[in-house]
Amino acid sequence: MGRLNLLMSVLLSIFSVSIVLLPNLASAQLKTNYYANICPNVESIVRNVVNQKFKQTFVTVPAVLRLFFHDCFVEGCDASVIVSSTPGNTAEKDHSDNLSLAGDGFDTVIKAKAAVDSNLRCKNKVSCADILALATRDVIQLSGGPWYPVELGRLDGFISKASNVEGKLPKPTFNLNQLNSMFASHGLTQADMIALSAAHSVGFSHCGKFSNRIYNFSPQNLIDPTLNKQYAAQLQGMCPRNVDPRIAIDMDPKTPRTFDNNYFKNLQQGMGLFTSDQVLYTDKRSKGTVDLWASNSKSFQNAFTTAMTKLGRVGVKTGRNGNIRFDCGRMN
78 is in an annotated binding site: yes
| Residue 153: closest CA among 134, 137, 135 | 134
Question: 323, 157 in Cβ contact below 8 A?
Answer: no
**What is the pTM for the complete model shown?**
0.91
| Residue 312: closest CA among 169, 150, 131, 146 | 150
Question: 246, 238 in Cβ contact below 8 A?
Answer: no
Question: 210, 318 in Cβ contact below 8 A?
Answer: no
92 is in an annotated binding site: yes
**Residues paired with 89 in a beta bridge:** 86
291 is in an annotated binding site: no
* Residue 204 phi, psi dihedral angles, 5° rounding: -145, 165
For 148-225, where are the E strands, in sequence order? 204-206
Question: 113, 124 in Cβ contact below 8 A?
Answer: no
**Residues paired with 250 in a beta bridge:** 204
Query: What is the b/e burial string over 220-250, where b = at least 16 CB atoms within 10 angstroms of the residue's CB?
Result: eeebbebbbeebbeebeeebeeeeeeeebbb
Task: Identify whether 70 is a catalytic site residue.
Answer: yes
| Number of other residues whose CB lies within 10 A of the CB of residue 171 | 14
96 is in an annotated binding site: no
Terminal C-alpha separation, the chain:
47
Catalytic member of 70, 95, 186, 206:
70
Q: What radius of gyration do the chain's Cα atoms show? A: 21
The number of C-alpha atoms within 13 Å of 314 and in the hemisphere containing its C-beta is 25
For 200-264, where are the E strands, in sequence order? 204-206, 248-250
pLDDT tens string, the chain, 332 residues long: the values are 555 455 445 444 444 443 343 445 677 789 999 999 999 999 999 999 999 999 999 999 999 999 999 999 999 999 999 999 999 999 999 999 999 999 999 999 999 999 999 999 999 999 999 999 999 999 999 999 999 999 999 999 999 999 999 999 999 999 999 999 999 999 999 999 999 999 999 999 999 999 999 999 999 999 999 999 999 999 999 999 999 878 899 999 999 999 999 999 999 999 999 999 999 999 999 999 999 999 999 999 999 999 999 999 999 999 999 999 999 999 99
User: What is the helix, strand, coil percentage profile of the chain, to 5?
Assistant: 55, 5, 40
| Number of other residues whose CB lies within 10 A of the CB of residue 138 | 26
Question: 268, 281 in Cβ contact below 8 A?
Answer: yes
